[in-house]
């Protein structure tokens, strides 16, 4: 039965069967460079669990094509600006009963490696063309492509790579309601004017109230300006980005759109990230059998070539090496931190060449205390979350952050800068909060080396001097509910609001 698009669809979202198309340039495990991939797979899966008809669309990168289950080529068509035919492959997500559409355009997406950069780390020269094409296909499906026989009531775009889809749809009467999620405002998809002229977007979109941003073409503005609702991935980051220090030049626009903009905290996939069942671990454990966690520490030390000793205080880091993540803060405190021979540090990281080299260098000089893996490796990530004692996340800004949530779940208290989603998910340990049973980690206020060092020392003191307190801290984090269900319900409310807004526009157009 067709769902009504009326504001009364409040009930439609409650009854289930809302049709949602999630558009993203990555989705785990089909393709992943960061947290966006985790969210893009687990939110639609959670919506399906709640009875809704969520589907996912991503580009047909080679790995995605290889991993898709039951692939079926649905149709081929031409798209403006593209010589070759574009195809749609339909299949199922590898881990969930989630329908996935792959946009098959080999000339654009059939490249091994990173979706955004070539092997030397430079952006692909045709990124504007590639993601415009992606957005054109998203827009076609959003309007209803006969060969697919399914049309969403809500288009949910994520990050700049999908930002032009609502811009392309703005004058299409049969367009669905649209929601746009910002996972990181620092990545905006900016291109020069010549690119705008070359790629064939409607000239009317070059305006202050359109895609123009300081004389450049901004993909992310398309999502912010033309969507019915816009959100980011934590309430605190939603507040921060309305201010100049965090707004990356878009704070004015985000203030201007008022209530259309909000923050919803990400959840995590409790099936993939569960220390009680995680097959990637040598030893599973839970709150009651917290002592077993130590087996994972010994195994991790072995894997990273460090002396195997339970007595060490092992800190972990997982993430991209970019300024945002504050790894330079870790590097600058290491000389002092490592003076304590019982401290070890394990990093799984990749990114800026200079930082990679600095990390490898320190691992060479301190082989008994520092272990480094350069690259992203899902299995190692799980083992670091489980095997370390504490987890470092000194990000200068952090829209949500997922690794600190994984570390809470794995009983590895996070040590984090009080910013963005880190501040929303970690409760600072004081004698009071520990006694109340609310403490889950350590927060420091300024992204400065001394502040990070001080927070690590606070953690170390508790770990060494009060093992029961440490256990309480760790197991409190393990018992939090940060699964997707609550967040998915908040997205459903946002979808209802977007549908209501869309309906009002339609009514006004008809009046």
Which residues contact ligand GLC (rule: CB under 6 A)?
A: 34-36, 39, 183-184, 233, 266, 398-402, 421
Can you spell out the DSSP letters for 310-379? Answer: TTSEEEEEEEEESGGG-HHHHHHHHHHHTTSTTEEEEEEEEE-HHHHHHHHHHHHH-TTTEEEEES--HH
> Beta strands of 34-98 (E only): which ranges?
53-59, 69-77, 86-92
Other beta carbons within 10 angstroms of residue 485's beta carbon come to 12
Q: CB nearer to ligand GLC: give 90 or 240.
A: 240
Distance CA 172, CA 155 (A): 14
Residue number with the shortest CB distance to ligand GLC? Answer: 35
- Please state the closest distance from residue 323 (CB atom) to ligand GLC, in A: 12
- Please state the closest distance from residue 444 (CB atom) to ligand GLC, in A: 18
Distance CA 247, CA 254 (A): 8
Q: CB nearer to ligand GLC: give 35 or 500.
A: 35
Q: CB nearer to ligand GLC: give 20 or 105.
A: 20
Q: CB nearer to ligand GLC: give 325 or 382.
A: 325
- Please state the closest distance from residue 39 (CB atom) to ligand GLC, in A: 5
Q: CB nearer to ligand GLC: give 157 or 421.
A: 421
- Please state the closest distance from residue 158 (CB atom) to ligand GLC, in A: 8
Distance CA 202, CA 502 (A): 22
Length of the chain: 511
Q: CB nearer to ligand GLC: give 183 or 229.
A: 183
- Please state the closest distance from residue 35 (CB atom) to ligand GLC, in A: 3
Q: CB nearer to ligand GLC: give 133 or 238.
A: 238
Whether the bond into 29 is cis, omega within 30 of 0: yes
- Please state the closest distance from residue 301 (CB atom) to ligand GLC, in A: 28
The residue with tokens 């000389």 is: 335
Other beta carbons within 10 angstroms of residue 241's beta carbon come to 25
The helix/strand/coil state of 267 is coil
- Please state the closest distance from residue 161 (CB atom) to ligand GLC, in A: 13
Contact 165, 135 (CB under 8 A): yes
Tell me the CA distances in angstroms from 41 to 48, 97, 267, one per residue in order.
11, 11, 11
Q: How many CA atoms lie within 13 A of 302 on its CB side?
A: 7
- Please state the closest distance from residue 403 (CB atom) to ligand GLC, in A: 8
- Please state the closest distance from residue 275 (CB atom) to ligand GLC, in A: 20
Q: CB nearer to ligand GLC: give 12 or 329.
A: 329
Gyration radius of the chain over CA positions: 23
Nearest to 399 by CA among 39, 58, 156, 28: 39
Distance CA 330, CA 391 (A): 12
Q: CB nearer to ligand GLC: give 139 or 233.
A: 233
Tell me the CA distances in angstroms from 295 to 252, 319, 378, 406, 455, one per residue in order.
51, 24, 19, 18, 26
- Please state the closest distance from residue 30 (CB atom) to ligand GLC, in A: 16
Can you spell out the DSSP letters for 96-127? Answer: SS-EEEEEE-HHHH--SS-SSB-TTSPBPTTH
Other beta carbons within 10 angstroms of residue 377's beta carbon come to 14
Q: CB nearer to ligand GLC: give 38 or 228.
A: 38
């Amino acid at each position: 039965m067709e769902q009504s698009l009326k504001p009364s669809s409040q009930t439609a979202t409650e009854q289930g069967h809302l049709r949602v198309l999630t558009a993203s340039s990555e989705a785990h495990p089909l393709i992943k460079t960061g947290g966006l991939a985790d969210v893009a797979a687990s939110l639609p899966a959670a919506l399906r669990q709640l009875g809704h008809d969520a589907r996912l669309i991503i580009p047909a990168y080679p790995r995605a094509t290889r991993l898709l289950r039951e692939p079926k080529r649905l149709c081929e068509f031409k798209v403006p600006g593209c010589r070759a035919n574009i195809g749609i492959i339909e299949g199922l997500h590898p881990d969930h009963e989630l329908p996935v559409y792959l946009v098959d355009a080999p000339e654009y997406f059939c490249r091994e490696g990173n979706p955004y950069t070539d092997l030397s780390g430079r952006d692909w020269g045709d990124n504007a063309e590639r993601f415009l094409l992606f957005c054109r296909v998203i827009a076609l499906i959003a309007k209803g492509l006969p060969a697919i026989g399914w049309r969403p009531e809500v288009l949910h775009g994520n990050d700049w790579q999908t930002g032009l889809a609502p811009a392309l749809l703005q004058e299409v009467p049969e367009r669905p309601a649209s929601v746009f999620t910002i996972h990181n405002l620092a990545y905006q998809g900016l291109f020069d004017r010549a690119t705008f002229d070359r790629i064939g977007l409607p000239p009317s979109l070059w305006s202050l109230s359109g895609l123009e941003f300081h004389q450049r073409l901004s993909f992310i503005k398309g999502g912010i300006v033309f969507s019915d609702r816009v959100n980011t991935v934590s309430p605190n980051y939603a507040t921060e980005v309305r201010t100049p220090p965090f707004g990356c030049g878009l704070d004015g626009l985000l203030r201007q759109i008022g209530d259309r903009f909000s923050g919803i905290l990400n959840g995590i996939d409790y099936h993939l990230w569960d220390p009680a069942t995680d097959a990637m671990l040598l030893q599973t454990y839970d709150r009651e059998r917290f002592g077993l966690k130590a087996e994972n520490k010994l195994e991790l030390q072995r894997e990273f070539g460090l002396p195997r000793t339970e007595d060490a205080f092992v800190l972990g880091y997982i993430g991209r090496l970019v300024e945002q993540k504050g790894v330079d803060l870790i590097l600058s405190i290491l000389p002092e931190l490592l003076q304590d021979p019982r401290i070890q540090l394990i990093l799984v990281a990749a990114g800026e060449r200079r930082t990679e080299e600095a990390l490898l260098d320190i691992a060479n000089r301190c082989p008994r205390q520092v272990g480094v893996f350069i690259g992203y490796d899902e299995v190692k990530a799980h083992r670091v979350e489980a095997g370390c004692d504490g987890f470092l996340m000194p990000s200068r800004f952090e829209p949500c952050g997922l690794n600190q949530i994984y570390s809470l779940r794995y009983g590895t208290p996070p040590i984090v800068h009080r910013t963005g989603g880190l501040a929303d998910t970690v409760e600072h340990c004081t004698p009071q909060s520990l006694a109340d049973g609310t403490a889950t980690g350590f927060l420091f206020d300024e992204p400065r080396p001394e502040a990070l060092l001080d927070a690590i020392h606070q953690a170390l003191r508790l770990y060494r001097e009060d093992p029961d307190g440490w256990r309480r801290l760790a197991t409190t984090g393990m018992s939090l509910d940060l699964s997707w269900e609550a967040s998915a319900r908040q997205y459903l409310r946002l979808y209802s609001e977007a549908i209501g807004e869309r309906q009002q526009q339609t009514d006004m157009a008809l009046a």
